[in-house]
Amino acid sequence: MDGGAVINISLADETGTVDALSVKLNNSQAADTDTGLDFENIESLTIAVDTTSTNNATVDMTAAEANSVTVTGGAAGALLTLGALDAVTNSVTLTGYAGEVVFSAAAATNTGGVTLNASSAAAADDYTMSNFNDTATIATTGAVDVDIDMGTGTDVLNLTVTTGFVDTGEIDGAETINLAVVAGADITIGANATGATDANGISEATTVVLTGGNELSTFTVGSGGGLAAADTISGTTLTTFNASGFSGNIDLEYAVEMPATLTVSAGALTTDVVRTTYDAGATDITLGLTGVERFVADLDTGNDGAETYTFDLASATGLTRTEFAAGTIDTTTLVIDSYTSDTTIQLGTTIANAVQEFSGSVDVNMVSSAGTSDVLNIRLQDTDDQAQSNDLDAAGIETLNIALTTDAESHTFDLAGVTPTTGSAGTINISGGVSTDGIVISAVAAGVTTIDAGSLAGTLTLSDRGSSAMTITGGSAGDSLRMENAGDVMTGNAGTDTLVIVQNAVLGGFAVDLSSATDQVTSYNGAANAAVQVGFENVNLSGITGSNGADITAQSGTTTTSVITGTPNVDNITLGTGTDNVRYVALNLTAADTINNWTTGTDNIELDSALFTVGDYNEAAAVNGGANADVTVATTALADDATIITAIRTSTDTTDTLFVFGNTADGEVQLWYDANPNVDGGEIQVGIIAGVATTGIAAAFATGDFTFVA
């Protein structure tokens, strides 16, 4: 029948409880078959649709008083419109139907709700359930938007998804969504350049349960760390995302400030991620995560600065890494409460497909810090590439492990606030990184006795520390390690390393032999030094105070290079057979060092470019009675100190200048320094180049023998 004709059916006996009616629908004769059914007291109606035709059909079910409706047959692409179902209909079965269906059960009066069972969803399917507690089950669905309105009851949607499924935006009113992923399928919802409402169905549910998949499966909502997501989970409706029965991994992105009411559980794989953002400082952000290994948070997205974020890990189990980014103002404070060593705190992370920095202060509070073996794990990716010093505080930490990523980033940290329990010794282990970058530690706590960077590929610079004896091991790049105690055991390790000695030398001087492979500091502050310092190519003693100097020997190999920065006092420096550099900085331009074994054209005098700002060189018979170069070499020897001072005073320069003179009375080639030659009285002899004749100055020096370094 067609043309909207209604078929009226009456049963001889309507009192039975299992009355069944079967109707065959032949839609092969017209492009749009239009009919209706009218009957009462039928428990089960089956509509068998022609399997050979893709024509559409409409069956008006408003008066079809059947408890259950089953549709079978049909062909792919054929749309069957059932319209509004009768109020008594409480079950719709479409699993045997190959076409597409539209129906509405909004008029249902059964308080138990309506049950729907359907094969995989198709593009034109449009299901409207009742306003009671409905359950809909839809079989394997791929690249199709499931269009279902579950009504206002407490409803459950069971949906099996496979590759190509990307959109929950037309799933409305489902309080619980049970998603089963086909083994091996990857599901991504809300990826960049997709629909802005694709994650709505998940956001509007109260509970999402994810099952299925296998170790190759991934379920992603949001960007997955890639380009900015088109849609993410949002709002506060969703309180439970349970993927504990999912055999793949999850990557969930929450739009703004994932609420404390949300709990997320993941399965057995160890690659699960939850991501979110924050734009206002908050206290006690509780992370209700179970089996989720990574938590990624982009803090201060408004780039306001001076905000504090506190994360409580007490409710997080299985969390192995927290990752944080935080604007570019560098004043964010991150507080981690209830910390255990199972978790690594990473500073800097990938946001929208690019590495973003975290720079500021980090305070870590242990679950319990009363023990003597507490561990804190920190991972550094981007802390603003040493643009500022970061601060890390954590009380009761005996072992601090710092791992650098292989990103081209360097880091600066004040670790004075990482303190061991009273009576315990602290250890800092540093690893990872790349040879061209590294970490500067500007301070450590007095209780730290060991710094081990033996596994560090980058550079370690220890610019300050406590004065108690320590064991310090450098990494495989060029380290700068600070010695402040005669009992320090110092190992430069691989790379070109610098030993920086800082001491108030009131008792005596120092003996440093960089050519030794067994012990390079044999005398310390006037006393024999039993502790071993070895593996250093350079030495810097400019931080020495007091009145005593040092005897310093460079490396001995013909291919070696040593950089020697002496004390502020009189030093005896013996160069080797390689290329050696004697460095002058503000602190040691104060006394006349003797430089032995000078090799013309090989050895160098290095000058601090912060002082000698022009960086030029000039060689002439005498000092010019006006302007002169930063390095001025007078090739004609002068009689004595007084004559040299008089010559310097003829200069009108007002900036730092180094002069080279031959002193006939002393029989020496000497280095003299004046911070402002235009003002008399600042002339200081700072060096003696032993072995160079006063008559051979012109041959002994050239512009390449003086370099300007930062």
pLDDT for 180-210, tens place per residue? 999 999 999 999 999 999 999 999 999 999 9
Q: Is residue 80 part of a domain?
A: yes
Residue 2, strand partner residues: none
Q: Which residue has the higher pLDDT, 187 or 369?
A: 187
What CA–CA distance (Å, rounded) separates 110 from 90?
A: 7
Determine how β-strand 471-473 pairs with β-strand 273-277.
unpaired
pLDDT, average across residues 581-603: 96
User: How many residues are present in the chain?
Assistant: 710
Instruction: Give every CB contact of residue 698 below 8 A, 6+ residues apart in sequence.
Output: 619, 633, 635
What CA–CA distance (Å, rounded) separates 491 from 451?
A: 10
Helix (H, G, I), strand (E, B) or coil at 276: strand
pLDDT, average across residues 339-344: 98
**Does pLDDT of 12 surpass 80?**
no
Q: Identify whether the C-beta of residue 660 lies closer than 8 Å to the C-beta of residue 633.
A: yes
Closest CA to 669 of 642, 695, 649: 695
What CA–CA distance (Å, rounded) separates 459 from 345?
A: 21
Closest CA to 381 of 350, 414, 336: 350
Residue 573, strand partner residues: 552, 595
∠ CA 299-305-311, nearest 5°, is 35
| Local structure of residue 34 (DSSP, 8 states) | E
Residue with tokens 């009671």: 132
- Structure-token pair, residue 339: 């910390």
Q: Is residue 179 part of a domain?
A: no
- Structure-token pair, residue 135: 């359950």
Closest CA to 46 of 70, 16, 66: 70
Pick from 130, 161, 192: which residue ends a domain?
161
For residues 643, 646, 651, 654, the Cα torsion angle rounded to the nearest 10 degrees is 120
What CA–CA distance (Å, rounded) separates 420 from 369?
A: 9
pLDDT in tens, 518-570: 999 999 999 999 999 999 999 999 999 999 999 999 999 889 999 999 999 99
Q: Is residue 127 part of a domain?
A: yes
For residues 322, 323, 326, 332, the Cα torsion angle rounded to the nearest 10 degrees is 40
| Amino acid 197: pLDDT | 96
Cα Rg of the chain, angstroms: 40
| Amino acid 277: pLDDT | 95
| Amino acid 2: pLDDT | 59
What CA–CA distance (Å, rounded) separates 468 from 136?
A: 71
- Structure-token pair, residue 228: 């900015």
Pick from 137, 161, 185: which residue ends a domain?
161
pLDDT, average across residues 43-61: 96
Determine how β-strand 294-299 pairs with β-strand 321-326.
parallel
Cα-based distances in Å from 71 to 10, 23, 52: 21, 10, 15
| Amino acid 565: pLDDT | 98
* Structural domain harbouring 703: 609-709
| Amino acid 17: pLDDT | 84
- Structure-token pair, residue 460: 């370690």
How does the average pLDDT of the chain come out, rounded? 96
Q: Is residue 252 part of a domain?
A: no
- DSSP codes, 379-405: EES-SSTTSS-EEEEEET-SEEEEEE-
Determine how β-strand 489-491 pairs with β-strand 533-534.
parallel
Instruction: Give every CB contact of residue 392 below 8 A, 6+ residues apart in sequence.
Output: 361, 362, 364, 378, 413, 414, 415, 417, 418
How many folded domains does the chain comprise? 2
Q: Identify whether the C-beta of residue 180 lies closer than 8 Å to the C-beta of residue 212.
A: yes
Residue 457 region by backbone torsions, left for phi larger than 0, else alpha for psi between -120 and 50, else beta: alpha
| Local structure of residue 705 (DSSP, 8 states) | G
Q: Work out the number of other CB atoms within 10 angstroms of the CB of residue 303.
A: 12
What sign does the dihedral 552-553-554-555 (CA atoms) show? Answer: negative
Cα-based distances in Å from 295 to 38, 244, 254, 349, 666: 58, 17, 11, 11, 72
What CA–CA distance (Å, rounded) separates 580 from 689?
A: 13
| Amino acid 642: pLDDT | 98
Q: Identify whether the C-beta of residue 174 lies closer than 8 Å to the C-beta of residue 196.
A: no
Q: Is residue 511 part of a domain?
A: no
Residue with tokens 């290994």: 293
Q: Is residue 680 part of a domain?
A: yes
Q: What's this model's pTM, rounded to 2 decimal places?
A: 0.91
Pick from 161, 184, 205: which residue ends a domain?
161
**Does pLDDT of 3 surpass 90?**
no
Q: What share of the chain in percent tops pLDDT 90?
A: 93
What CA–CA distance (Å, rounded) separates 646 from 665?
A: 15
Q: Is residue 28 part of a domain?
A: yes
**Does pLDDT of 475 surpass 80?**
yes
**Does pLDDT of 1 surpass 60?**
no
Closest CA to 662 of 684, 677, 640: 640
- Structure-token pair, residue 455: 């596994």
What CA–CA distance (Å, rounded) separates 534 from 253?
A: 51
Question: Could you tell me the pLDDT band of residue 281, with boundaries at 50, 70 and 90?
Answer: confident
Q: Is residue 552 part of a domain?
A: no
Closest CA to 397 of 461, 442, 448: 448
